[in-house]
């Protein structure tokens, strides 16, 4: 998937475009099925300070690429980072980049 398309996918969780995905479907995708950890159909669901409440977190790799995505449902902020390497080094790098993107956004909002 192109990164631009991944961004469009993440945006769905912030805009609730019901012409594409119903509110009921969105709720099903983000409702945790387990309590510890709170996991909802591909998303870890946690309260995060930067998100102002509930956030969706996802990491994944196909062993050649690594992707990290976060969506702050209350804050309306989402960020993603990818690497063309699927290692732990890539995971650490994408996590750090996502944290820095969120912090930069917070600084710009002040």
The predicted-structure confidence for 4-29, as pLDDT tens digits, reads as follows: 999 988 998 888 666 777 888 888 88
* Domain boundaries, position 42: 3-109
How many C-beta neighbours within 10 Å does residue 49 have? 10
3-state helix, strand, coil in the chain (%, to 5): 40, 30, 25
Average pLDDT of 97-110?
Answer: 92
What span, in angstroms and rounded, lies between the C-alpha atoms of 46 and 48?
6
- Residues contacting residue 81 through CB under 8 Å, at least 6 positions apart: 67, 68, 93, 94, 95, 97, 98, 101
Q: What is the pTM of this model?
A: 0.88
Q: What is the pLDDT of residue 35?
A: 85
Q: What is the pLDDT of residue 66?
A: 96
State the total domains in the chain.
Answer: 1
Q: Find out whether 74 and 51 touch, Cβ atoms under 8 Å.
A: yes
């Amino acid at each position: 998937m192109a990164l631009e398309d991944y961004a469009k996918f993440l945006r769905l969780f912030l805009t609730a475009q019901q012409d594409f995905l119903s509110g009921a479907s969105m709720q099903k995708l983000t409702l945790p099925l387990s309590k510890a950890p709170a996991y909802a159909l591909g998303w870890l669901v946690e309260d995060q300070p930067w998100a102002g409440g509930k956030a969706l977190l996802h990491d994944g790799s196909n062993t050649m690429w690594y992707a990290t995505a976060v969506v702050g449902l209350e804050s309306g902020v989402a960020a993603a980072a990818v690497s063309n390497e699927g290692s732990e080094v890539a995971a650490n790098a994408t996590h750090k980049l996502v944290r820095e993107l969120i912090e930069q956004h917070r600084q710009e909002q002040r």
